[in-house]
Structure formats: structure tokens, C-alpha cells
Chain A
């Protein structure tokens, strides 16, 4: 087990990308949408709470909140793009490993946004991006969850 869902949310909280890693029914997709939507409030809360005078903040927000089935992790880029991960791990989750997944996903997003045909604010619909996300997820499943991560 490991990553159940990957989501990219734009600056105006517009969904740009939401993907269930295992094939999902429509009902499950609705549920994922719902969980992600709730997580956006948690992101805002984290950002407000962390604001202190003069402290630099990391893009990685950590565990946002646990639900019955998932743990929701968040990451906020400088350009206000939120990356959310739904993990269905039973046991402990290593922050290090999750952070590496986020770093890679962020890198992928930057590469995709650099494509001259990419339009900011529109959903990401690139087969290459899909494949790359799959790659990151499968590495986390293979090595990250059990041994504590892969190198970036």
C-alpha cells in the first residue's frame, strides 16, 4: 500500500489534477474529491498558524489531517500551487519519504509548466505527466515506504 491519490490544486483553489492511483469507481472519485476539498481548509489553517515574524517556512506542510481511510499530506509551492497526497498506510509514515515524493512531484509540475503549450490555471492533461507521476508513486511503493526512501 502507499499513495492512494495525488492532487494538484491551483492558486484559486481550482483543481488542476486529481488522480486515483488504483482504478477507482465514480463513487470513490467523489469521495476523493471530497477529502481533497476538505484538506484545502487545513492547508490555509497551517499557513496562517505557521506565520511568525522572520521565520522561513518550508514548502512541506506535513500531515494535514487523518480521516478514517486516508492520511492527507500537503505541500505548498511559492506560486501557491498545493500538492496533496492521500496515503493509505496503516503503520507509521516517514516524513522524509513523503517529503521526497513531494519534491519530485513539484519538479514534475515545474517541468510541465515550462512546456510552451501549458496554460496556467487549466487542468494538467499530459500523458507524459501521468506516466511520470506513476513513476514517482511506484518508487515510493517499492522502496520509500519500507526502507525509508529513495534519493532524489
Chain B
């Protein structure tokens, strides 16, 4: 730090120590936002609103997390960035499996998706109705992360749609379809 001039001009803010926040706060915020949006609007409207919130957050996070990276070249590199660095920063782990058909569809599989770990899965062998209900509930919590991923990808130049499918909680697959 020896090179910093002794009297910084007023515009330059001194570096603050990094502030920390308990992770449970984020989990509660995500859960509560889903509840709130579903209480205010119903069905598709709430999903779209959550997706829009996520989209915006994704844009900002992409801006921040790519700051110190060398330039990302093609689509695959951008997807790989999202699977590795972005996932790590957001969900504390990397994507477990990435599949592609080389025609614009990428399937990201996460075997322990962080934001689903607080939902209790239906008991094994319970009737299909319950399982379907649990799936629908999990889906409502996935609109926000889908929006975040889509926001990040679109902001990096990959125009796409993102769909999530919770098969067996807490594992989850995200399907990215690139718009031609």
C-alpha cells in the first residue's frame, strides 16, 4: 500500500473492511420473498415478478463477478463461468454436471442445490399426489434463482431462457435454452 498518495482526494472512498452477514439471513429473505410475492399476486404473475427480480440481481452480480476475469470468449466459456465461478459465489459449490446437445441446450445438474436444502423432501414411497405437491412447492422457490441465472447469462451476451426442474430434492436441474 506504499504507493497510495498521502492525501486521497475526497472522491476516493477509503476501503472499508469487508462486512459479513449470516447466511440464514439470505435464506430467510429468499423464502420470505417467495411467500410475499405469492400473497400479493397469484400463479404466473408472482412467478414472473420473482423472475424479474432475479434477472436484475443476476445482471448486477454478473457485472461484479466478471470484473477481474479475462474476457470470456464464446457461449460455452460463458456457461462454464456460470457453472464454476458464479455458482460458487452464489450457491457455495460448483455445478455437478454440465451436459449439452451442441445445439443451444445446456443442462446444469446440481445434486445439492443450496436454496432447496431447507425444504423437506416427501418421504420415499409416499403417494404420487404428495410428491407432485412437493414438486410444485419447490418450483415456486426456483423462479428466483432461474431469474438470477438468466440475468447473468443475458448480461454477458447469451440470450436464453432458463427452466428449473427439482427431480429429487435437493437435487435440481437447470435447462438453458439459447434463443437463436
Taking Cβ atoms with an 8 Å cutoff, the residues of A that contact B are 11, 51, 56-59, 76-80, 106-107, 109-110, 113-114, 120, 128, 131-136, 138-139, 142-143, 149-151
Contacts and interface: CB of A to CB of B under 8 A. Distances in A.
A95 to B, nearest CB: 17
A98 to B, nearest CB: 16
A23 B115 CA distance: 51
Contacts of B69: 78
A149 B3 contact: yes
Q: Please give me the 3 A-B residue pairs with the lowest Cβ-Cβ distance, nearest first.
A: A135-B11, A151-B3, A131-B11
Q: How many B residues are at the interface, by size bracket?
A: 20 to 34
B157 A139 contact: no
B67 A135 contact: no
Given A58-B71, A78-B156, A136-B12, 10 more contacts: A59-B70, A78-B72, A79-B63, A80-B157, A106-B67, A109-B63, A120-B59, A139-B5, A149-B3, A151-B1
B71 A132 contact: no
A58 B72 CA distance: 9
Question: How would you classify the secondary structure of chain B's contact residues: helix, strand, loop or mixed?
Answer: loop
Contact of A139 (B9, B64, B73): B9
B9 A110 contact: no
B34 to A, nearest CB: 19
Contacts, number: 74
Given A110-B63, A150-B5, A56 B10 contact: no
Contacts of B10: 131, 135
A107 B12 CA distance: 12
B124 interface: no
B15 to A, nearest CB: 11
Nearest to B74: A51
18 contacts: A59-B70, A77-B63, A78-B69, A78-B71, A78-B156, A79-B155, A106-B67, A110-B67, A131-B10, A132-B11, A133-B11, A134-B11, A135-B11, A136-B11, A139-B5, A143-B5, A149-B3, A151-B4
